[in-house]
Chain A
Amino acid sequence: MPATANTRMNVFEFSIILGLASLLAGFLGALTGLGGGVVIVPLLALGFGVDIHYAIGASLVSVIATSSGSAAAYVREGFCNIRIGMFLEIATTIGAIFGAFLAAGTPTKAIAIIFGLMLLGSAVTSSLSRKDRSTNRPPDSLASTLRLNGSYPADGIKTSYTARRIPLGFGLMFGAGTLSGLLGIGSGAVKVLAMDEAMQLPFKVSTTTSNFMIGVTAAASAGVYLSRGYIDPAIAMPVTLGVLAGAMAGARFLVRARVRVMRLVFAAVIALLGFEMIYNGLTGRL
């Protein structure tokens, strides 16, 4: 390991504190549909003085864990739409590869600033109030051809829905994949935006399908980051285990939680981290 100024903690203390912080991040990430990944990179880079490349590597693995852990619960409960997820994964995986190639030539300062802007964007979109859409509309013909429709349990009643504005949603998903590959995040906020706002799917269908897709999107970037050496087992271990435990707890909680207050609190935290990342990027401290 390279020598640094940050030598106050020993490995045991570092692992425990980082594991507990990751647990909280995973819990809030699963509950809000934003993924724990958005706070892992600032947590590691700002809080623990970890180089941003290691931070992105650990974050990427942790978002796969978040996705697998919570999606396993969602698909069984019938919120998640597997066909919509699979179709949109074409866009997110191609975007993820594009983003990973972009990351090769992007300096740390620029990554920090882009990351900060992404956090501010996430904070704004996640704090907007959302209503579930009305469901009694004529079906979209492209959605019918691609079978991008379904039903989900709303307050115990089976409620059907259909996707709309599919090219717009597909394009936004490419952007979500690019951000994922560039920043090592799940891009849950952009995925939820694409499904909830652009394709007008019910909010719980959007968040759960987003979580479901995050694993495949992040896997498209993870192999590239692994072979470049951005995934350090000593950092990824506490982050992954913490996020996994938190995500599993969050998934159990989501079905009966009032997510609005939680989302506002999480949005405020994300906005603060966004300003911090931009400041540190501009002043060259990262």
Chain B
Amino acid sequence: MAPPHTIPADDRSLDRYIGTILRTGMLLSAAVILAGGLLFLMQHGKEPVSFHAFHGEPAEITSVRLIAQGALRGAALQVIQLGLLLLIATPIARVIFAVVAFAWERDYLYVSISFVVLVVLLYSLFGPKGG
């Protein structure tokens, strides 16, 4: 049986970098969502709300390219949606960082494990959607 490993000293700095990535992604996306939200409330705040029936969203807020284009024009809903995309990208950035950081530590077992997670994530985003 292999001797029990203890946490390498480098894991503390790994913790710190991952904390920084999560915090930065979270704050950045929150700022974008907040900006879009204020814009949205100024433009549409007085309108009656109605969200009951599901009819799907138009392409302007489901396609990454159209979201980015709309956000650059300053369209409120697309600015919010861009912030939501940044939020979804934050954990993915954390996994990409883990692949690099474990490679730096020469911990190839965890490079492989992190890489498998990354492949599964990319498949979920770009693979078939199942309807």
Q: Interface residues, chain A, CB within 8 Å of chain B?
A: 1-15, 48-54, 61, 64-65, 67-69, 71-73, 75-76, 78, 80, 82-83, 86-87, 89-90, 93-94, 96-97, 100-101, 104-105, 139, 141, 144-147, 149-151, 160, 162, 215-216, 218-224, 226-238, 240-241, 244
Contact = CB atoms under 8 A, between A and B. Distances in A.
A251 to B, nearest CB: 11
A120 B95 CA distance: 32
Given A61-B88, A97-B120, A144-B4, 15 more contacts: A6-B52, A10-B49, A11-B45, A53-B54, A65-B29, A68-B25, A83-B110, A97-B123, A104-B131, A147-B109, A150-B7, A215-B94, A216-B94, A216-B121, A219-B91
7 contacts: A1-B50, A90-B117, A93-B124, A224-B125, A229-B56, A240-B84, A241-B34
B41 A229 contact: no
Given A82-B11, A240-B33, A241-B33, A234 B2 contact: no
A149 B45 contact: no
Nearest to A216: B91
Given A61-B88, A65-B26, A220-B124, A11 B49 contact: yes
Interface residues of B, number: 76
Contact of A141 (B1, B46, B85): B1
A27 B30 CA distance: 16
B87 A100 contact: no
Nearest to B125: A223
B113 A222 contact: no
A213 B21 CA distance: 14
A51 B45 contact: no
B120 A72 contact: no
B77 interface: yes
Interface in B1-26: 1-7, 11-12, 14-16, 18-20, 22-23, 25-26
Given A10-B46, A238-B37, A64 B88 contact: yes
B106 interface: no
User: What 9 pairs across the A-B complex have the smallest Cβ distances?
Assistant: A4-B52, A12-B45, A223-B125, A215-B91, A229-B57, A229-B56, A233-B80, A72-B23, A72-B22
A2 B53 contact: yes
Interface in B53-100: 53-58, 61-62, 77-78, 80-81, 83-85, 87-92, 94-95, 98
